[in-house]
Every structure is written in structure tokens, then in C-alpha cells.
Amino acid sequence: MLAGLYLTLAIFAVAIDRKESGGGWITLHGMASFVVTLPVSLLGEKLNLKPDYRRNLDMILVIGICFTLVYFAGAGVAKLTRLAFSAAGKG
């Protein structure tokens, strides 16, 4: 469920970023896309492999990697929670 929520938010953020064409005195074009793909984007910045937020293939790949990270992080938290509650019930 957490990964599904992330996926919905990420697709919405990228769509909004692409829809906005300009700004006033300041433009934060691509900021939402950077935020929803933060783990991969930061690593890409460090390795000089920054994803191009205008290319669909780059965004699909980056969002897919982040989706996988969120899925396994959520599954790990759920497993730890189950273990904690089962240990508390036995003791």
C-alpha cells in the first residue's frame, strides 16, 4: 500500500512538473521530480549520472528504482512490527 501511494504521488509530481511551463521571478522546474526520486537523484548527482527529468525512459527507470526501495522499506518495517508485537504478546 505504501509503495502504491508513492507511485501515485511520483507520477502526479512528474506530470505537474512537466505541465508547468514557466514562473515569475523564480523557477523551480523539476524540483518535485527531484524530490520524489531523491535517493536515486542524489546518487546520480554524486556519480555524474544525473537523470534527465524530461525523458520518459529516465523517469520510468528512476521511479521504478525508488518504488522498489519504498516497497522493501515498507515490507521491512511491517515485518519488524509483526515481530515486535508477537514478542510482546508472548512475554
pLDDT in tens, 5-18: 999 999 999 988 88
Say how far residue 40 (Cα) sits from the centre of its chain.
8
pLDDT at 91: 59
pLDDT at 22: 61
Task: Provide the phi-psi class of 48: left if phi over 0, else alpha when psi is between -120 and 50, else beta.
Answer: left
Distance CA 64, CA 58 (A): 10
pTM (whole model) above 0.75? yes
How many C-beta atoms surround the C-beta of residue 83 within 10 A? Answer: 10
pLDDT tens digits, 41-81:
999 889 998 888 889 999 999 999 999 999 999 999 999 99
pLDDT at 25: 62
Distance CA 81, CA 67 (A): 21
pLDDT tens digits, 11-41:
999 988 888 666 666 667 778 888 999 999 9
75 to each of 7, 28, 82, how far by Cα in Å?
16, 33, 11
pLDDT at 9: 94
